[in-house]
Homo-oligomer: A and B are copies of this chain.
Amino acid sequence: MLSIGSLGKATGVKVPTIRYYEQIGLLPPAQRSEGNQRLYDARARERLAFIRHARDLGFPLEAIRELLGLADDPDQPCAAADAIARRQLATVKARIARLQALQAELERMLAHSACGRIGDCRVIEVLGNHQLCLHDHPAEAE
């Protein structure tokens, strides 16, 4: 049985984060020692590793909650899990596209920068005048 600190080290998840996951019901309430400290077995460790890995891949906690529900039930069809992963892939692709547009714009801005006085500064100028910019209204979040 592992203490919360050892579990944290074993999975690469910070201690307050583990407690937070328990608080929001992503992890079940941990067993407790006589002195009221949390104790974790191998199953709990696997569950947390699963969460950690999914977080690394950018899945939001709600999606992870769904995935955990599916993982607990090995006879369910796997299409649901696939759908969640595909959704996540779509999100990631959209973010990349958005960021690449930002990158291009920032590079364009910096390429023309004369680096003299602020009054002539391309960076400030472009920010102040949308006409000088390529895309008009990206609308969505980074």
| Shortest Cβ gap from A81 to chain B (Å) | 4
- Contact bitstring A98-115, B, C-beta under 8 A = 1, else 0: 011011011101100111
Chain A residues proximal to chain B, CB less than 8 Å: 12, 46, 49-50, 53-54, 56-58, 67, 70-71, 73-79, 81-82, 84-86, 88-89, 92-93, 95-96, 99-100, 102-103, 105-107, 109-110, 113-121, 123-124, 126-128, 130, 133, 135, 137-138, 142
- The oligomer's copy count stands at 2
CA distance in complex: A75, B74 (Å): 68
Chain B residues within 8 Å of A113, by CB: 78, 82, 85
Main secondary structure of the interface of A (DSSP, over half): helix
